[in-house]
Amino acid sequence: MKKTLFFVIGCCLLLTGCVMPHTVNNADGKDTRQPVLRVGISADARPMAFHDHGRVAGLEADFAKGLAKYTHRRLVFVELPWSEQIPALLAGKTDIIMSAMSVTRARDYRISFSDPYMVTGQIALVRLRDVSKFSDGLTDLLSPVVRVGTVEATTGDLLILRNKAKGAVLHFKDADHGVQALFNRTIDAFVYDLPMNCYLGAKYADKGLVPVTVPLSREYLAWGIRKDDQELVQAANGYLKNLHDSGKLQQMIIHWVPFYRSVYNNR
């Protein structure tokens, strides 16, 4: 009888061991069973997203960390070239694009957007000696004698295309190549997002580059999410509402983009 009892208890213990999951922790002590938030990011656009001592940093990185905490997910950055962001999202390789993406009709047709978190726009980066030539904004850029550079498939590129620039338009794969074209005098103006061009103007001020702080457009930045993942859309909007109501949203933006208050002060 005792042998039978011990046998039954032993079987119960074995069965309990089978059904109770064992927690496996990774190197940083986090539970690897925790749901993952895969954030698509292009870390080549200071101050929004960039590399700092081997890690992704910037405003978008801070937002991603906060959203992961809000949704109780483990954050994983998936670094991609800008042109691959939407295809990767639609293919299920990422869950959300957090990479200073402007809301456009074309993009809205393919993906859903969170509520906007920031008002921005396009501005021109030029050589200091030429800054007076672009004081009228977009009208000056469309002149037949002006050679304009943009990053391919960005809203700056779309802006110049839609307004039918009469001069030469050169496309670059990233902002660094656009800056080099200014140094080489291959182009007269480089049109890109306001935060990035202001950062580049500060970085290369001693080399004669300056941003023209006349906004060429008014755009809204938001995070891109698959249309079939409305649960994440709602979670992102809830996170943004918390940031906005607490006043932390404006604080985070101004921390990374100090000039934001004076250029766009309507958020």
Q: Which of 89, 100, 93 shows the shortest CA–CA distance to 42? A: 100
Beta-carbon contacts of residue 4 (< 8 Å; ≥ 6 apart)? none
**For residues 193 and 178, what is the distance between their CA atoms, to the nearest angstrom?**
13
How many domains does the structure of the chain reveal? 2
232 and 106 fall within a common domain: yes
Strand, helix or coil for residue 252? helix
Residue 134's alpha-carbon distances to 118, 124, 180, in angstroms, are 25, 8, 20
Dihedral sign (CA 161, 163, 168, 171): negative
CA atoms within 13 A on the CB side of 42: 19
Q: What is the mean pLDDT of each run of 10 residues along the chain (267 residues)?
A: 41 37 36 87 92 96 98 97 95 97 94 95 95 92 96 92 95 93 98 91 93 90 98 98 96 84 53
102 and 234 fall within a common domain: yes
Asked if the structure places residue 9 within a domain, the reply is: no
Q: What's the confidence (pLDDT) of residue 10?
A: 44
114 and 225 fall within a common domain: yes
Within 10 Å of residue 32's Cβ, how many Cβ atoms?
Answer: 11
185 and 55 fall within a common domain: no
Asked if the structure places residue 170 within a domain, the reply is: yes
CA atoms within 13 A on the CB side of 85: 24
pTM of the model: 0.75
Q: What's the confidence (pLDDT) of residue 213?
A: 84
Q: Which domain holds residue 62?
A: 36-119+221-262
137 and 255 fall within a common domain: no
Asked if the structure places residue 232 within a domain, the reply is: yes
Joined together, the tokens standing for residue 190 give 């480089």
Q: How far is C-alpha 71 from the geometric centre of its chain's CA atoms? A: 19
115 and 240 fall within a common domain: yes
